[in-house]
Amino acid sequence: MSKTLIIFDIDGTLLHSNHVDSHCFAIAYKDVFGIDFPSIDWTYFPHVTDTTIFDTVIKEHFNRPATLSDKEIMLDRFIALLEENRRNQPERFMEVPGAKSLVDRLIADDRFTLGIGTGGWARPAKLKLKHVNIQTDPLYMSFADDNWTREAIIRGVYTQLAEAKESYERVVYVGDAVWDVNTTRNMGIDFIGVRVNGDLEKLVGEGAATVLQHYLDQDQFMEAVAQATVPKNIK
């Protein structure tokens, strides 16, 4: 049986928090290093991954690369803030409607293999998925910890499948951001966009052919998978 590998982003794609997580990242940095974080507009950075973002700011502020110790201290504070916010305001950290049910269905369907390819570090990413009860054990997951670019993160999923001797005929990436459109275009990967706030034109204007608002209509998602294409270069 030929399989389709579906790789999901996390933030804005499987869950949404109205940028609270981004603010936690900035607050954690200020708490640890005593300097205001420059921007949570991720387009400010050369690559939208936690590793690149963090290293870029450390270089700007301290004129040196980030160290493993820097990262671990930052991660501890970031995780603490995420846990505190989820404990105090759980209603602000929601799954994209239908995400958990869809993931469960896809895991049970032999036609698909599922992956996670996110620009976040592993520890906070897994915490976020746990908060909305999305199971991770069967998924092939790649994070920013050892990867600087979104392309490298997706290739990390491929590497894991190769090591597991899992075959697939096609790849579809599901993401919510402009950089997801650009990455999949660069890599020649079919793409499905998700914009939970309904501003579907944000990704359509970047070349995405299919953009959904949620996963409540699972048949609609399956049809989107069947019809997904590489984003057009419209600029």
By the 10 Å C-beta count (0-12 exposed, 13-18 middle, 19+ buried), 72 is classed as exposed
Q: Verify that 85 and 180 share a domain, yes or no.
A: no
Q: What pLDDT is stored for residue 1 in this prediction?
A: 65
pLDDT in tens, 168-224: 999 999 999 999 999 999 999 999 999 999 999 999 999 999 999 999 999 999 999
The confidence score (pLDDT) of residue 234 equals 79
Number of domains making up the chain: 2
| Residue at 133 is within a domain | yes
Q: Are residues 160 and 174 in the same domain?
A: yes
Q: So what's the pLDDT on residue 137?
A: 87
Pick out the chain residues at pLDDT < 70. Answer: 1, 235
Side chain identity at residue 159, one-letter code:
T
pLDDT score for 168: 95
Q: Are residues 172 and 216 in the same domain?
A: yes
pTM > 0.75:
yes
State which of 64, 91, 118 marks the end of a domain.
Answer: 91
Domain ranges, residue 189: 4-16+95-227
Q: Specify whether the CB–CB gap between 26 and 82 falls below 8 A.
A: no
Kindly give the residue spans of alpha helices, DSSP state H, lying in the chain.
20-33, 50-62, 68-88, 99-108, 122-131, 150-163, 178-187, 201-204, 218-227
Residues 207 and 147 in one domain: yes
pLDDT at 166: 92
**Whose structure tokens read 């199971």?**
135
Asked if residue 146 is part of any domain, the answer here is: yes
CATH number of 9's domain: 3.40.50.1000
DSSP 22: H
Catalogue the long-range contacts made by 160-169 (C-beta closer than 8 Å, 24 or more residues apart).
160/115, 161/5, 161/113, 161/115, 164/140, 166/3, 166/113, 166/140, 167/3, 168/2, 168/3, 168/4, 168/5, 168/113, 169/2, 169/3, 169/4
CA 45 to CA 146: how far, in whole Å?
17
Of 52, 75, 91, the residue that ends a domain is 91
Predicted local distance difference test score (pLDDT) of residue 235: 67
Check residue 142 and give its pLDDT.
Answer: 98
